[in-house]
Chain A
Amino acid sequence: MSAGLFIAQRLSAAVLAFAVAVHLATIVYAVRDGLTAGEILARTHGNAAFFAFYALFVAAVAVHAPIGLRNIIREWTPWRSPSLDLALAVFAALLLVLGLRAVFAVYVA
């Protein structure tokens, strides 16, 4: 792992530590009085703060997960060729696109 990937993994981990905590606290807070899905969507609709927070969350996941997966694959399998980096770049792009698509869908719902 290069110094660049190392820094990216640590920084994204810091973002995720914050984002996961906020995400879980929000879930607990939102459902404590039995909010319906419709009521939740009414609150997220057009909410720029919601969109920005979850877009950041998704971006951190798209950076962090492929780097960690790359380490695991390198340590546990013989797959070391440049194709590994390519496959994980595709995986990162997939996480980013699918995640942002989901966030956008909730934002406009």
Chain B
Amino acid sequence: MPASKNESMLSVEVWRGTDTGRFQTYGVPRRVNQTILDVVSEIQREQDPTLSYRFACRVGMCGSCAMVVNGRPRWTCRTRVSQVVTAAGGLRLEPLRNLTVVKDLAVEMTQFFDKWRDARGAFEPGSAPARDFAVVPPSTPQRQAADAGIECIGCGICYSACDVVAWDRDYLGPAALNRAWTLVNDVRDAGREARLAAVSGDAGCQACHTHMSCTSFCPKGIAPTYSIAGLKRALLWRALGSDR
């Protein structure tokens, strides 16, 4: 991409190391329509091939390029430099929070997806196969509740933004609980009871403080906070003996 007429240099602080490390500063030419991922790629290809980071699609479909940019978790491929750069041309790039750093800007996502499993975030078809296609009208409240959270691509932005995860590493986190809520509202699913039991308790939905950081930062516009509130309501009615 050609440089702009008023080309200036970005001062980019990049985290180098693992859980311990330091910021290393690189100078990168500022370009038209430049994304944060462009900046990281330019550093890695032109200045320091030892820099580790992760990306795949570059268009906001895979979620693998998520990082903390100037203190906020973001998809770097969908964040233009002009949106976040400081007046002095500064950028600070860190790996996602609340996850173990593999190296530099790449984090270990195993813990994140293990919690999807722990929250029973997989569809449970039941003991017998369905005889026919299930007809699920899109207008039903349950389907609408499921649709509200179904577009999650598992990027880990919400998990990185969540204070409760930072305080309690056992907490299932917004993404896993959001996934559980979509399945609780899936009328075809046969695992409701086990799932509600899995998302209750000290590591479950009741630990959420409703800070709404997950909802604020989700690049897909999903509101995990509302999904978690839905789980709280479902568990409340279940404890009171109702199946609402």
* Chain A interface (Cβ < 8 Å from any Cβ of B): 1-7, 71, 74-76, 80
Q: Give, as a whole number of angstroms, the nearest-CB distance from B62 to chain A.
A: 33
Contact with A along B208-244 (1 / 0, CB 8 A): 0000000000000000000000001001101110000
Q: CA–CA, A9 to B200, complex, Å?
A: 15
- Closest A residue, CB atoms, query B166: A75
- CB <8 Å contact, B167 and A2: no
Residues on B with C-beta less than 8 A from A74 are 168, 202
Residues on A with C-beta less than 8 A from B202 are 1-2, 74, 80
Q: CA–CA, A6 to B235, complex, Å?
A: 10
15 contacts between A and B (CB under 8 A): A2-B200, A2-B201, A2-B206, A3-B200, A3-B206, A6-B236, A7-B236, A7-B239, A7-B240, A71-B207, A74-B168, A74-B202, A75-B168, A76-B167, A80-B202
Q: CA–CA, A1 to B239, complex, Å?
A: 13
Tally of B interface residues using CB under 8 Å? 15
Q: Give, as a whole number of angstroms, the nearest-CB distance from B192 to chain A.
A: 15
Contact of B239 (CB < 8 Å), options: A3, A75, A76, A80: A3
- Tell whether B68 is near chain A: CB-to-CB under 8 Å: no
Interface of A is mostly: helix
* Chain B interface (Cβ < 8 Å from any Cβ of A): 164, 167-168, 200-202, 204, 206-207, 232, 235-236, 238-240
- CB <8 Å contact, B238 and A3: yes
User: When A and B form their complex, which 10 residue pairs have the shortest distance between CB atoms, in order from nearest?
Assistant: A75-B167, A3-B239, A1-B206, A6-B206, A3-B235, A3-B200, A75-B168, A1-B202, A2-B201, A7-B239
Q: CA–CA, A3 to B201, complex, Å?
A: 7
Residues on B with C-beta less than 8 A from A76 are 167
- Closest B residue, CB atoms, query A76: B167
Contact of B236 (CB < 8 Å), options: A1, A3, A75: A3
- Closest A residue, CB atoms, query B171: A75
Q: CA–CA, A3 to B238, complex, Å?
A: 9
Residues on A with C-beta less than 8 A from B238 are 3
Between B168, B201, B206, B239, the greatest number of chain A beta carbons within 10 A of the residue's beta carbon is seen for: B206
Q: CA–CA, A80 to B202, complex, Å?
A: 10
Q: CA–CA, A1 to B164, complex, Å?
A: 13
